[in-house]
Structure 1
Amino acid sequence: MSICARVSEELAEPLGGSAPRAASWLLIEQTGPWGPRALTESHFHPELGRDLQQLTRGTGVEIALIRRPGKHADRPPTGERTVHLAHTAPGRSWVRTTQLADPHTLRDLDFAAVGAGEHGGFGTAHEGDPLALVCTNGRRDRCCALLGRPLASELAAAGHAEVWEVTHLGGHRFAPTMLVLPYGYTYGRLTAPTAKEVLEATHHGRIVPEFCRGRSYWDRPGQAAELAVRQNHAVDEADALTVTQTGDPAAPADPDRWLVRVQHRDGRAWQAQVRRSAATPARPESCLKAPTTPDRYDVLSLGALPVTAWAATA
């Protein structure tokens, strides 16, 4: 195991609350090698990449490039490319897929609407196996290449999902990492057996909390609180829980504390107190970076709420 992933695991750094934040995802096929900033440093059109970054800013839409597992010849792509558009809200998640000869038409998308869960008739509904996106961009982080590429190849060979390599999911030190759609849960420190377990669970509408970093639809305090409920109350249905977070009234001036209410669709509800702090000792967030103290999100308390209490405050 390479440096940043090994150190993070040795320090038992928690996975919960570390998932990338995105209400929706735009995933564009781009073959060949990727640079550290793949959207503008690859065979993808750099001007279009910059335009899409500007158009999606503040909309809740995250853009990433994808490619099939395997060897990647250093030549410009020809013909059509696959594009996936996905939304990750509980109970309203979807994936839409199309083939595009000219990716410049993506400028015409209403990204504010996409971030709010409206696809506007883009492509066709993706059906069947979940999408499994394994981070493999070695130009951004060595761990993602050394640990992610073999995992993506094995999953693709096993036929457990529609498998893609993806440019960036954050949290290099949790490699190998994988985003699973339509639900938007990100996982870390996977092995081939545990990744296959995750994909089998996803196929049946469930998640595996043990390896989960969080659902991208929630902010990070909400991710941590949701996973605490799942781990303590054996909730594995992917769309069973919704989250509402507020500042902590016990510490109104503290921007690093939250109260998070987690509601089950069966009426049960919980309240979690979440604190953000610096992870110590310092560790590399990436193999290419100096050691630092990244944010961690800890659930300090978790208690059940009466259904009437939730209804009064929702």
Structure 2
Amino acid sequence: MAGTASHGVVWVLIEYRGGWPLNGFEGLDLKPETKALVLSAAKAARARVLLVRRAGLRRREGQSRWAVLRHEDSGAYRQQWGTWSRDEDLAEIATALSLPGTPGHPPVILVCTHGQRDQCCAVWGRPVGRALSERWPELVWECSHVGGDRFAANVVVAPDGVYYGNLDAESSVATVEEHLAGRIHAEYLRGYTDLVPAQQAAVAATLRRFGPAGRNDYRVVETSRDGDRWRIRITGRPPHPVSVDVELDARRAPPSQLTCRGPAVSSALVYELTSISAV
């Protein structure tokens, strides 16, 4: 599972209380010019656009919310929030994508429940969404497709950019609680979204070997590749190891059906740890 987080450091969240189409925001029945403006601005910012809603009973009244979330290279994150009731209101997202946003907001916890995309996400995701929203009602949103349906239930902490997978109600609460306390564990970690897959797997291996750490306690500083062999150096903040060297082999797993809805078998790329040492 390590090394499977989708890339992204900018997130656009749009609350939508109706049914979610297979292709999410792109499939909504909105004014074409508004939708084109948002998608164009998101593409320019390399932002991921997700539909969101609160877990449990869907409220129909009142304005819906939108947000632009950013994770910066320094490890800081910024957010900008707004509301919308008419299609035209969503044009504000394009403006927000051109601005830095403001610090100080708590992170957002996203649970993929996009059953139209893959029923596994709804079956496994909704119980996780309910459990997390009971614990953190203001932070938790159900969301549309985030990738990796085979790892449902999937949880993304944004704009931290941390993917977790294979969660259930109990493990999700414990995992998010540890995350919010600055202790990311390797057990359910899929990866950090600002890293390429091999780097994600190297960080997960480091957490597994040397114990949990905060989101910004480790930094990838060197990466080299020789065929299927990856060599990655990671630096750590005290009390973690100052420097860790990780070697991984990339290989194809045996063919299997990767998603509940997948019509054919496919072979996933996985990263196998060959060595890890603190320098």
TM class by smaller structure: 0.7 to 0.9
Contact (CA 8 Å) 2:112, 2:125: kept in 1 or not? yes
The structure 2 residue matched to 1:178, chosen from 146, 155, 161, is 155
Task: Kindly report which structure 2 residues correspond to 1:202-213, keeping only aligned pairs within 5 A, or say none.
Answer: 202-213=179-190
Cα distance in 2 for partners of 1:280, 1:54 equals 38
- Provide the residue aligned with 1:26 in structure 2: 12
Please give the per-residue CA displacement for 1:155-191, whole angstroms capped at 9, x wherever unaligned. 2123366110110111000000000134221111111
Determine if the alignment matches structure 1 residue 243 to structure 2 residue 226.
no
Matched, 1:100 2:103: no
1:71-220 alignment to 2 at 5 Å?
71-72=57-58, 80-89=63-72, 91-101=74-84, 102-110=89-97, 119-120=99-100, 122=101, 125-127=104-106, 130-159=107-136, 162-220=139-197
Q: Which residue of 2 aligns with 1:6?
A: none
Q: CA deviation at 1:145?
A: 0.7
Deviation at 1:66, TM superposition (A): 0.8
Change (3 A) 1:136 1:45: farther
Residue segments in structure 1 that go unaligned for 5+ positions in a row? 1-14, 112-118, 306-314
| TM-aligned CA deviation for residue 297 of structure 1 | 2.4
Structure 1 residue identity aligned to 2:75: R
- Residues 10-60 of structure 1: CA deviation (Å, up to 9, x unaligned): xxxxx1101111122121212211011011113555554444333333644
Match of 1:292 in 2: 266
Deviation for aligned residue 1:95: 4.0
The alignment's TM-score, normalised by the length of structure 2, stands at: 0.87
Q: How many residues align?
A: 273
Name the CA shift for 1:81/1:289 in 2 (closer, same or farther; >3 Å). Answer: same
TM-score w.r.t. length of structure 1: 0.78
Change (3 A) 1:145 1:238: same
Deviation at 1:286, TM superposition (A): 4.3
Q: Residue 258 in 1 paired to residue 230 in 2?
A: yes
Same amino acid, percent of matched pairs: 26
Per-residue displacement from partner, 1:205-260 (whole Å, max 9, x unpaired)? 22122111111111111110011001001132222001134332xx2xx3x44322
1-side partners of 2:54 and 2:31: how far apart?
19
Shift of 1:99: 2.0
Amino acid in structure 2 at the alignment position of 1:283? Q
SS at match of 2:191: strand
What letter matches 1:105 in structure 2?
E
- CA deviation after TM superposition for structure 1 residue 64, in Å: 1.1
**AA at the equivalent of 2:67:** H
Q: Secondary structure at the match of 1:293?
A: coil
Post-superposition Cα deviations, 1:133-171, rounded to whole Å, max 9, x if no partner, equal 000000000100111112112221233661101101110
1:278 corresponds to 2:264 = no
Structure 2: give runs of 5+ residues left out of the alignment.
none
- Cα shift at 1:86: 2.2
Counterparts of 1:67 and 1:140, CA distance in 2: 16
Q: Which AA in structure 2 matches 1:262?
A: I
Q: 52, 56, 69: which one pairs with 2:55?
A: 69
Contact 2:78 2:102 in 1 (8 A): no
How far 1:87 sits from its partner (Å)?
Answer: 2.5
Q: Partner of 1:292: helix, strand, or coil?
A: coil
Question: Secondary structure at the residue paired with 1:290?
Answer: coil
> What is the rounded CA distance, in whole Å, between the counterparts of 1:28 and 1:229 in structure 2?
35
